[in-house]
Amino acid sequence: MNSLPARYNRSIDWVTVLLYLLMVGVGWLNVYAASYSPDAPSNPFGSLNFGQLMDFNWFKQIVWIGTALVLIVVLLVIDPKAYDTFAYGLYGLMILLLIVTPFIARPIAGSRSWLELGPVRVQPAEFAKFITALAVSRYLAGINLRQQSFRDQLVLVGLTLLPPVLIIAANETGQALVFAAFLLAYFREGMSPIILLILAAGAVILILALLVPKVWLVVGFTVLLAVVLAANWRSLRHHLPLSAGVWAVVIGMVFGVDFFFNNVLQDHQRKRIEILINPSADPLGVGWNVTQSKIAIGSGGLAGKGFLQGTQTKFDFVPEQSTDFIFCTVGEEWGWAGTMTTIVLFMALLGRVVFVAERQKSVFGRTYGYCVASIIFFHFCINIGMTIGLAPVVGIPLPFFSYGGSSLWSFTTLLFILLAIDAARKQDLERY
Amino acid sequence: MQYLEGRKYVVQAIFLAVALVFATRLFYIQVLDGSYKLAADRNTLQRIVQSPYRGLIYDRKGQILVQNTPVYDLMVVPREVKQLDTLRFSQLLQLPLEEVREGLQQARKFSRVKASPLVQNLSTQELAAIQDNLIDFPGFSVKARMARSYNTHTMAHALGYVGSITPKLLERPQYSKYQPGEFLGITGLESFYEKQLMGRRGVQYRMVNVRGIEKGAFRDGEYDTLSVAGQDLHLSLDSELQGYTEKLMAGKRGSVVAIDPKTGEILAFVSAPMFDPEMLSGKGMGNRYMELLNNPEQPLFNRPLMATYPPGSTFKLVNELVALQAGVVSPNTPFPCNFKLVRCTHRHEYPSNVGIAIKQSCNPYFYQVMRATVLRGRSSNRFEDARLGLGEWRRKVMQFGLGEKLGVDMGQEKKGLIPSPEFYDKRNGYHRWTFRTVYSLSIGQGEIGITGLQMANVMATIANRGWYYTPHFVRGIGSGGPLPEYQVKHTVGVDARHFEAIIPGMVSVVDGNGGTGNNASLADVGISVAGKTGTVQNPHGDDHATFAAFAPAQDPKIAIVVFIENAGFGGSSAAPLAALVMEKYLRGQVAPWRHRWEEWLPGPADRFIKRRKY
């Protein structure tokens, strides 16, 4: 076995590492700005001891970043084969942990999902993401998704849904939603695009059902279906039962929305969606977060107010400003230039991860790569979407930017397992 | 499997689509839509208005009357109060325990994080007593602000007072710049000259956080402006003369107005009963205000401007002047003292000319003078003749500044009433009244109503032989003169020679043998006084006494009207009081033999009536 530097020097994907460091660095600057207080001493290192410094989020984030770097070394030292080999074992352990967490965790902010290990608090749900990604990649590598049996499909669905179900049980809906991201990876591995299309159409119908009077939807869809049938009567006349079935399902969905909305969703979730539809309702209550977040970002202008000059974020108008709403600080202090840079950074990283995934020779490696991209993309989508009023307020962090050890470690692990697998791909070649 | 590789483009397209949507949306809210910037400023910018230093008020001789002294408000931020020993705290403040508790409760209700006043208007001495101990009570602080303090115990009615703005006033457009709780002039000169005294506010922009706590200056104070102190007022009132007059008016109800006829400057302005201006300032002001308001003697009522009385015999002078100008009588026209027309005040010599008529205040004489003015055969119908005549008479009388506001520099002025033909049409019916209905006007009784200030202005006009400047209190604003409207000479449409015709009669009222105003004579110190007594019939009680005069008769420097309610005949109380004030002003002192008047005059009015009965 080669020494570590020799093993990774050429084969590690430095572009991804560079993007990672850039994002973590920019993220830290914004965490510093978000937790910066003009009243605090200008040179805290001179006057405060470690314990006092740990009162500041920006300092704790330095500690988290430092430990994340150590974590990276550990991840690269481990033989990449291990991720494949132990995928199911880890998955089993994680499921156990998710089951016991609500019983041994103290309730924090309404959910029993944080475990306390001495001074450090971790959220098992954060780590469920990469472990599930490993497990489903392992599983997909062993079957052919195009010709899979019904039983294989069922197992895959079960593997994917078990963790989010347990996470919802611990009342962390946001983290559970992330598992929807796996669909993109499955799509790349051969899942029928119709499933994606149906889900997308379903989402559109659900959203329309909330926005547009239901009668219009029913009449509109009926007319549309009739026109399509009439235009293609020759080819479609044999599919009348199917058409009728589709019609029934759509109409059912239109009217089912209300039931889902009123009886399935919890009160705070329902309000978050109401706010998305009508942002000006209740601007001082539930709409506060979104309204203030948009004000903070919108007031940034083209070039922003400047580093540490943000007023909305600094003076506590935006809640959760260093964690879930960190993008507000970016938008306010760096303006459109800053938000575009952030988006470009994410696009670059996602593009690079897809590129890395595509060059994997193993299904395991490629699937895992796509899982990484999909999970990061989902976070990017929902987190930024909610700060600018395009997505409901779901409490999930912006990868690499948001303050928090659990989140940073989990995304670091997610990404660097891929890099470790990627670096070993030449060894695989050598071996075979 | 190779064909699946194409799906990477689909996945990347999805990524890019979302990025594009975000970029567009961000461009819209960050660059195109300016409303978020406004909303951000509304969130964080707080305008702090600095009240300027209010202008000072000086008297005629440059003595300071009204100034600003710092007072201190004890402020409390409820959130910062820690383990308050209320008992010790209330002992320190020398306030009842319940009051402290209630104050804290109020403050908590207002805001837990913003400072609100617990005790207001602490003087420097009161502050010194508690300041050292305040350090033991976190959450309490002291805020200094300027309040009015008075260097005089007189002229409360003229000065007016300063108080915090009421919510009702705040809604008016002219007070749109005022902040709730800000102080402004409520009455008197403080109110009329509010704009000049106020100065210009300074504005500071501060940044605040979501809880309204200050976080420093906005852009290092680039948009801040400094306040500009208000302008000082220099009054025409003479505080020594004022104090002297107030002393003489003590214990009575009534008014005294003295004017410098050459300039229209008001020299003394007394509304009795008086109160100390200090009462409406400082700690406990609200309670004292309510005391004054509920006092049955109505000390807050500004009598010289607001009380309209029939002027009584002093009005005969105006009647005579109108008749002379109309040419219907001459100074030598005799009229018999005919008791059948109207009862006369007393038996007296035959009024063969206006001088005797004035000296004796002959009622039938002036009845006939006014009848000559009103009934001139303008119509063959005697009702219409009286109607036309009264209308003409009224227009002439109003030239003297009667029946409408003079425009003094104080807000509470009343118009008074010079009844019009329409007034009687409405009361008695059209063509249902004749001169017999309105004859009381000839002797200043009946429906007519005149304020003390208006009568004083008539005296100044007679002293000037036909013109006046609108009476005013302020002869200088800052380093400039009075307001422009007080530099315009008004004429009353009566020739100077007609004034010369009646002034000898007025002099004889005071100095002539058996004149009704002999008590006002200053001949012993070489000053000739022209005056006229009056006794106003009062259906509600004892008659009111009045005396109007100016002196010296040939070169008048002071015109004065004294009005004492329920004091009976004007010659016995009002006349000597006027004499004392005029002598004090003209000579700076009062002749020793008149000191007995000074000792005798102060006190309740009914004594003057008893004296007459004996």
Q: What is the CATH number of the domain that holds B174?
A: 3.90.1310.10
Distance CA B11, CA B5 (A): 11
In total, the C-beta contacts within 8 angstroms joining chain A to chain B are 115
Evaluate whether residue B599 is within a structural domain. Answer: yes
Distance CA A294, CA A280 (A): 12
| Three-state SS at A195 | helix
Evaluate whether residue B17 is within a structural domain. Answer: no
Report yes or no: B142 and B131 within 8 Å, Cβ to Cβ: yes
Question: How high is the pLDDT of residue A8?
Answer: 56
Parent domain of B443: 239-613
Give the DSSP letter of residue B602.
S
Residues B193, B263, single domain; the answer is no
Q: How far is A262 from chain B (nearest CA, A)?
A: 29
3-state SS record for B392-409: HHHHHHHCCCCCCCCCCC
List of chain B residues whose C-beta atoms are within 8 Å of the C-beta of residue A300? 30
- Within a 10 A sphere around the Cβ of B447, how many other Cβ atoms? 15
Going B125 to B126 to B129 to B134, the CA torsion angle's sign is negative
Cα–Cα separations (whole angstroms), residue B343 to B51, B361, B398: 62, 12, 27
Report yes or no: B245 and B563 within 8 Å, Cβ to Cβ: no
Residues B190, B328, single domain; the answer is no
Among A401, A397, A374, CA closest to A386: A397
Residues B451-510 have pLDDT tens digits of 999 999 999 999 999 999 999 999 999 888 899 999 999 999 999 999 999 999 999 999
Question: How high is the pLDDT of residue B286?
Answer: 80
List of chain B residues whose C-beta atoms are within 8 Å of the C-beta of residue A331? 26, 30
Q: Tokens for A205?
A: 């119908």
Asked if A142 is an interface residue toward chain B (Cβ–Cβ < 8 A), one would say no
CATH of the domain at B341: 3.40.710.10
Evaluate whether residue B245 is within a structural domain. Answer: yes
Among A44-48, B482-486, B520-524, B557-561, the least confident range: A44-48
Question: How high is the pLDDT of residue A105?
Answer: 78
Residues B215, B200, single domain; the answer is yes
- Within a 10 A sphere around the Cβ of B467, how many other Cβ atoms? 15
Which residue stretches of A232-262 are H helix? 233-236, 240-259
Q: Tokens for B560?
A: 């004065």
Contact A298 B37 (CB under 8 A): yes
Nearest to B7 among A38, A188, A335 (CB): A188
Question: How high is the pLDDT of residue A9?
Answer: 55
Residue-averaged pLDDT of chain B: 88
Q: How far is A340 from chain B (nearest CA, A)?
A: 7
Distance CA B349, CA B337 (A): 9
Asked if B40 is an interface residue toward chain A (Cβ–Cβ < 8 A), one would say yes
Residues B207, B252, single domain; the answer is no
Question: How high is the pLDDT of residue B611?
Answer: 46
| Three-state SS at B147 | strand
Evaluate whether residue B446 is within a structural domain. Answer: yes
Q: How far is A432 from chain B (nearest CA, A)?
A: 21
Given 3-state DSSP classes, what are the helix, strand and coil percentages for chain B, each rounded to the nearest 5?
45, 20, 35
Q: How far is A430 from chain B (nearest CA, A)?
A: 23
Nearest to B11 among A184, A302, A340 (CB): A184
List of chain B residues whose C-beta atoms are within 8 Å of the C-beta of residue A184? 11, 14
| φ, ψ at B534 (rounded to 5°) | -155, 145
Residue B612: pLDDT over 60: no
Domain boundary among B200, B235, B270: B235
Contact A299 B18 (CB under 8 A): no
Contact B31 A301 (CB under 8 A): yes
**Which ipTM value was assigned to this complex?**
0.89
Q: How confident is the model at residue B527 (pLDDT cuts 50, 70, 90)?
A: very high
Q: Tokens for B421?
A: 């033909």
Question: How high is the pLDDT of residue B410?
Answer: 92
What residue of A is the nearest CA neighbor of B31?
A301
Evaluate whether residue B81 is within a structural domain. Answer: no
Q: How far is B36 from chain A (nearest CA, A)?
A: 5
- Among A136-145, B5-14, B555-564, which range has the highest average pLDDT? B555-564
Residue B167: pLDDT over 90: no
Contact B26 A331 (CB under 8 A): yes
List of chain A residues whose C-beta atoms are within 8 Å of the C-beta of residue B14? 184, 377
Residues B389, B457, single domain; the answer is yes
Mean pLDDT value across residues B44-56: 80
Q: Tokens for A243?
A: 């058409």
Contact A380 B18 (CB under 8 A): yes
Residues B304, B364, single domain; the answer is yes
Asked if A346 is an interface residue toward chain B (Cβ–Cβ < 8 A), one would say yes
Site from B25, B31, B36, B46 to mutate, A interface, most A CB atoms within 10 angstroms: B36
Average pLDDT per consecutive 10 residues, chain A (432 residues; last block may be shorter): 53 92 95 77 65 80 93 90 90 92 76 73 86 93 71 88 89 86 89 83 77 80 86 79 83 79 75 69 67 88 85 76 88 93 96 94 92 95 90 87 90 94 71 44
Contact partners, residue A198, CB within 8 Å, separation at least 6: none
Residues B314, B450, single domain; the answer is yes
What residue of A is the nearest CA neighbor of B6?
A188
Beta-bridged to residue B75, according to DSSP, are B117, B141
Domain boundary among B235, B254, B275: B235
Residues B319, B208, single domain; the answer is no
Distance CA B509, CA B579 (A): 13
Question: Is the backbone of residue B158 left (phi > 0), alpha (psi -120 to 50) or beta?
Answer: alpha
Q: Tokens for A226?
A: 């009739």
Residues B477, B600, single domain; the answer is yes
Residues B255, B209, single domain; the answer is no
Distance CA A66, CA A211 (A): 47
Asked if A27 is an interface residue toward chain B (Cβ–Cβ < 8 A), one would say no
Distance CA A61, CA A402 (A): 9
- Within a 10 A sphere around the Cβ of B351, how many other Cβ atoms? 24
- Within a 10 A sphere around the Cβ of B6, how many other Cβ atoms? 8
Q: Give the total number of structural domains in chain B.
A: 2
Which residue stretches of B295-428 are H helix? 303-306, 316-326, 354-360, 363-374, 382-398, 421-428
Angle at A399 between CA A395 and CA A404, to 5 degrees: 70
Asked if B14 is an interface residue toward chain A (Cβ–Cβ < 8 A), one would say yes
| Three-state SS at B427 | helix
Asked if A354 is an interface residue toward chain B (Cβ–Cβ < 8 A), one would say yes
Buried b (16+ CB within 10 A) or exposed e, B367-380: bbbbbbbbbeeeee
Q: How far is B77 from chain A (nearest CA, A)?
A: 19
Evaluate whether residue B400 is within a structural domain. Answer: yes
Would you say the pTM of this structure is higher than 0.90?
no
Asked if B15 is an interface residue toward chain A (Cβ–Cβ < 8 A), one would say yes
Distance CA A109, CA B378 (A): 98
Residues B221, B256, single domain; the answer is no
Contact partners, residue B39, CB within 8 Å, separation at least 6: A295, A298, A299
Contact partners, residue B546, CB within 8 Å, separation at least 6: B309, B311, B312, B314, B455, B533, B534, B535, B536, B561, B562, B563, B564, B570, B574
Question: How high is the pLDDT of residue A431?
Answer: 46
Evaluate whether residue B100 is within a structural domain. Answer: no
Domain boundary among B214, B235, B256: B235
Residues B293, B311, single domain; the answer is yes
Contact partners, residue B49, CB within 8 Å, separation at least 6: B177, B179, B182, B201, B202, B203, B204
Evaluate whether residue B431 is within a structural domain. Answer: yes
Question: Is the backbone of residue B478 left (phi > 0), alpha (psi -120 to 50) or beta?
Answer: left
Distance CA A120, CA A114 (A): 10
Name the packing angle between helices A326-358 and A363-387 (round to 10°). Answer: 160
Asked if A392 is an interface residue toward chain B (Cβ–Cβ < 8 A), one would say no
What residue of B is the nearest CA neighbor of A353?
B12
What residue of B is the nearest CA neighbor of A383?
B22
Q: How confident is the model at residue B614 (pLDDT cuts 50, 70, 90)?
A: very low
What residue of A is the nearest CA neighbor of B209?
A315
Work out the end-to-end distance of chain A between its first and last CA atoms, rounded to an integer number of angstroms: 16
Contact A299 B215 (CB under 8 A): no
Name the packing angle between helices A150-169 and A87-104 (round to 10°). Answer: 30
